[in-house]
A and B are shown apart, each in its own frame.
Chain A
Amino acid sequence: MEEEIIISGRMNYKVDPGLHIWGWEIAFYLFVGGLAAGLLFFASYYYLQGKEKEFPAAIKWAPMLAPVMLALGLGALFLDLHHKLYFWRLYTNIRLTSPMSWGAWTLMVVTPLSILWSASWVREVFPNWDWKFKFLYDLEAFFIKYRKVMAWIMVFYSVILGIYTGILLSAFNARPLWNTSILGPLFLASGLSAGAAVIISFTKNELERKLFSKIDLVIIGIELFLVIHLFMGLMASTAVQIEAAELFLGGKYTLPFWIFVVFLGMIVPAILEFLELRGQKIPVIIPVALILMGNIMLRFIIVYAGQASRYLY
């Protein structure tokens, strides 16, 4: 058999024998970033539709989680940096060719905006809330007045945030699994699905729950389509991409991916939500928990498997 044996003398930390420069921090951030993007998108979209009364969970309650998620995500990103004290260098540069630079600046817009959005609703959600100082009440009135402007900015930036979590990875041509433009839409869809799931778990209103169950069903359908497309694309590509796809089609990520991400994270919750819409009594927490689990697993598996995929010598 024609073979090639490669012996390398290199043994650099986190690079050899297999790349492991990114760990749980990045996967966790991609999850919470996607979830926050989903929450903020639905909040601003339905606010702009004037559905404030009909969908209180989507517009007022659920987005309160977004600043918390983004803060946790930023914390994880900070932990991931090796040269931590220099993190501010991200904000002395705008590098158009670097997705990470785009992401850093997007977060710079979205994070404060999500805090202001939540603050402008906080007295409606918690009636006993007291701002303590008069100037805070004045500020609140100011932001309530400009909610519409905030919603317009947020509806765009939440989509950028959701897509960027995938594009961050797809910009690396050295890692064939990541190097596909499907990853952006896939992560956006998955973030929106997580956002819809959280809204379903928050709502007490039948109309809102039904709507977001339907939205979730459609998004899961899109996600399944994108997953199939991802593998079709990889399998129809060059040797390194085929090898990357094989990590999921018989390789070591096959079981975790197809069982936890696709079956338990997409198909089962979709069936449960469908049955629920048909009038079956199903505790809403089950599909919601499954969707969030599938979301986390998708991020972890893609981040880890991507680093296992590489160019051959």
Chain B
Amino acid sequence: MRYAMAIDTKKCVGCSDCVVACQLENNVPIGYCRDWIVETTSGTYPNLELENRSERCHHCANAPCVRCCPTGASHIAEGGVVLVTPDECIGCGACIASCPYDARYPHPDGYVDKCTFCIHKVRKGEDPACVQVCPTNCLYFGDLDDPNSEVSRKIKERKYKRLKTEAGTDPQLYFLI
């Protein structure tokens, strides 16, 4: 099992619904976020290109945060999902410094917090909150090991890119372009 997410940058309008859904579902403290919208404009005027991306933890197959964690609080759970156990986390910040995507933050309660792919919902057979609410249906979550899953099919059909693969993390967010 290999959970992954595909994000259709052609369909994303940058409405931030995924951000708010995550904050509500996971009780994210005010002022923090586990997922966020990035908007990039590139090119030379007047030939500009706009891209919207809904970003979150990349649940790397080679996760530097798990490697650097001194207590084992950061660990890889079923389907390759990277999780933090709050009761084992000492809040040293090593994982935050080790993440090239800056996807983690120190929770006001002390431990380090991040996207969980809504594993509590996934275990019940549901999609993550961000996927459920997306009004343009641009997020696809599923198992890459299953060739018939929606995410596997999207990656097969479409061109995609992954971010900062040069950092050696083998990220599992696929941005359809």
Taking Cβ atoms with an 8 Å cutoff, the residues of A that contact B are 1-16, 19, 21-22, 80-87, 89-90, 92-93, 95, 97-101, 104, 171-175, 238, 240, 307, 310-311, 313
Alpha-carbon separation in the docked complex, A2 to B43 (Å): 5
Question: Counting CB contacts under 8 A, is B72 at the interface?
Answer: yes
In the bound complex, do residue A86 and residue B87 qualify as a contact, i.e. CB atoms below 8 Å apart? Answer: yes
Alpha-carbon separation in the docked complex, A2 to B41 (Å): 10
In this complex, how many residues of chain B approach chain A with their Cβ under 8 Å: the count is: 51
In the bound complex, do residue A171 and residue B68 qualify as a contact, i.e. CB atoms below 8 Å apart? Answer: yes
Question: Which 9 residue pairs are nearest across A and B when measured between Cβ atoms?
Answer: A82-B91, A83-B91, A83-B110, A10-B36, A12-B105, A174-B100, A100-B70, A101-B70, A4-B42
Alpha-carbon separation in the docked complex, A68 to B99 (Å): 34
Alpha-carbon separation in the docked complex, A311 to B43 (Å): 20
In the bound complex, do residue A21 and residue B71 qualify as a contact, i.e. CB atoms below 8 Å apart? Answer: no
Which chain A positions have C-beta within 8 A of B43? Answer: 2-3
Which chain A positions have C-beta within 8 A of B164? Answer: 311, 313
Report which of A6, A7, A16, A101 forms a contact with B102, defined as CB distance below 8 A.
A16
Which chain B positions have C-beta within 8 A of A1? Answer: 44
Taking Cβ atoms with an 8 Å cutoff, the residues of B that contact A are 16, 19, 31-33, 36-44, 55, 64, 67-73, 86-94, 96-100, 102, 104-107, 109-112, 163-164, 166-168
Which chain B positions have C-beta within 8 A of A7? Answer: 38-40
Which chain B positions have C-beta within 8 A of A311? Answer: 100, 164, 166-167
Report which of A4, A10, A310 forms a contact with B33, defined as CB distance below 8 A.
A10
Given A11-B31, A82-B112, does the pair A98, B93 have CB atoms closer than 8 Å? no
Could you list some 5 contacts between A and B, CB below 8 A? A4-B40, A14-B96, A21-B106, A82-B92, A92-B71
Which chain A positions have C-beta within 8 A of B100? Answer: 173-174, 310-311
Which chain A positions have C-beta within 8 A of B110? Answer: 82-86
